[in-house]
Amino acid sequence: MLNEQQEALLDQDVTTSADQTETTDKEHCVAQLNTLINANWTDYYQALSQLAANYQIPECLKLLNAADEILNQADDPANASQTERYLIGGVKDAQTANQFPFDTQILGNMESFASFKKLLRNDPAGIAKLLKIIPKTGPIDGWHFMQFIDSYQQLFAANGFKQSVLFPATRLLSMKRPDQFVAISEATADTFYSALKIKPLKKQDFQRYWDEIITAIHKTDWFQTNQPTDPAQLPFHRGRMALLERFAATPAAGLVIQNSPDLDEVQTSTEEMTSVPAANHVTDKPQSHSVLANEYQPKVKKAPVAQPKKMTIDKRKTAKTNIAAATKLMSQYYFANKEKFAKVNVKAHRESIIQRLVDGESVAEVFESLLN
């Protein structure tokens, strides 16, 4: 029998071994995430086809397909059942496993966010309205993102919650547009921070999520690859951003991609980006992971951020609608001219900008005055 000292040493060894395994797994995830983001599309797709079935890529594709049917194909997402809304949000109830024969919490588990789960349960119309802000197809720009976040925060406030946090918002975005957004969860956040070489995001660092994670990845050749012509590759291309969460969460045995640079070698300044077609990589069609091969894949075309059609808001009856219109105009003008106004601290001036727009000033004049 072991004496107390020997038992204590054994417990310490087991704990140390577990900690070392966790550290090794994280380092592996950071390395593979860096590698995948910086691979060309051909190598990336070939690497996916090498993965073992237990890595759950087919389940990920089933989840994304189910989310697409609920959010983008259904006549009205507001009619989604509670269980379907839970699928979108990365939470579950007793009915989830009965309705969906796959892991609905993969690609961003949000079960720990109780207020978010209550919101999904109690306000289907609000969730549907929120997700309609993000277009079903085409480029996504900072204006879309800011409008989404403003509405997201208002939705929490309208339902009696004092605070809204970042991670659940990223899950909603990645389910609506898995080609444009990736979910960040408590399990994967540190991996993304390490891979992208950024400081940890705070609970409400919405803008940094866009600038330092989404925009940074959107600038890579891997992201900008045009839609493949091989039907078997389409679901992977459509879900390319959302699938990154899987690689940030779990080390993939046997994942090999050659000659990939570090992310910081290709990452440049965080300007506003849209999806810009670059190269069309085509590979031989493998037999594995063929789920959703016939799924419709919209083409993503190059498009600049549009200037507002009007420089002033149309006054409406209530203060709330005037503020909403001013906020939208401010966001759209800023993101259409972000390079010019890069040094303007919009967050610090946000309230004054909105008030000046409500008072009838031109958005161009307001922003020009902030340069002086």
3-class SS letters over the chain: CCCHHHHHHHHHHHHHHHHHHHHHHHHHHHHHHHHHHCCCHHHHHHHHHHCCHHHCHHHHHHHHHHHHHHHHHCCCHHHCCHHHHHHHHCCCCCCHHHHCCCCCCCCCCCCCCHHHHHHHHHCHHHHHHHHCCCCCCCCCCHHHHHHHHHHHHHHHHHCCCCCCCHHHHHHHHHHHCCCCCCCCCCCCHHHHHHHHCCCCCCCCCHHHHHHHHHHHHHCCHHHHCCCCCCHHHHHHHHCCCCCHHHHHHCCCCCCCCCCCCCHHHHCCCCCCCCCCCCCCCCCCCCCCCCCCCCCCCCCCCCCCCCCCCCCCCCCCCCHHHHHHHHHHHHHHHHHHCCCCCCCCCHHHHHHHHHHHHHCCCCHHHHHHHHCC
**Residues 199 and 238 sit within 8 Å (Cβ to Cβ):** no
Kindly state the percentage of the chain with pLDDT values over 70.
78
Residues 157 and 234 in one domain: yes
**Is the confidence at residue 265, as pLDDT, over 50?**
no
Domain boundary among 216, 240, 257: 257
- Mean pLDDT calculated for residue range 55-75: 91
**Is the confidence at residue 20, as pLDDT, over 60?**
no
Residues 204 and 125 in one domain: yes
288 belongs to a structural domain: no
Residues 195 and 75 in one domain: yes
pLDDT at residue 46 in the model: 81
270 belongs to a structural domain: no
289 belongs to a structural domain: no
- Mean pLDDT calculated for residue range 340-361: 86
Residues 190 and 327 in one domain: no
Residues 248 and 366 in one domain: no
Residues 347 and 226 in one domain: no
pLDDT at residue 258 in the model: 55
pLDDT at residue 305 in the model: 59
pLDDT at residue 244 in the model: 92
pLDDT in tens, 275-321: 323 322 222 333 333 333 333 333 333 445 567 667 888 777 788 77
Model confidence at 254, in pLDDT bands (50, 70, 90)?
low
pLDDT at residue 368 in the model: 86
Between CA 89 and CA 168 the distance in angstroms is 7
Q: How many CB atoms lie within 10 A of CB 44?
A: 24
219 belongs to a structural domain: yes
Residues spanned by the domain of 354: 319-370
Residues 339 and 214 in one domain: no
- Mean pLDDT calculated for residue range 169-186: 96
Residues 338 and 214 in one domain: no
272 belongs to a structural domain: no
**Is the confidence at residue 112, as pLDDT, over 60?**
yes
- Mean pLDDT calculated for residue range 51-74: 89
pLDDT at residue 45 in the model: 84
When the pLDDT of each residue in the chain is averaged and rounded to a whole number, the result is: 79
Residues 109 and 185 in one domain: yes
pLDDT at residue 119 in the model: 94
**Is the confidence at residue 338, as pLDDT, over 90?**
no
pLDDT at residue 160 in the model: 92
Model confidence at 269, in pLDDT bands (50, 70, 90)?
very low
**Residues 57 and 40 sit within 8 Å (Cβ to Cβ):** no
CA distances to 96, 166, 207, 240, 281 from 233, rounded to whole Å, are 29, 31, 32, 10, 10
- Alpha carbons within 13 angstroms on the beta-carbon side of residue 132 total 11
Total of domains in the chain: 2
pLDDT in tens, 125-165: 999 999 999 999 988 888 899 889 999 999 999 999 989 99
- Mean pLDDT calculated for residue range 210-215: 94
pLDDT at residue 243 in the model: 93
41 belongs to a structural domain: yes
**Is the confidence at residue 218, as pLDDT, over 60?**
yes
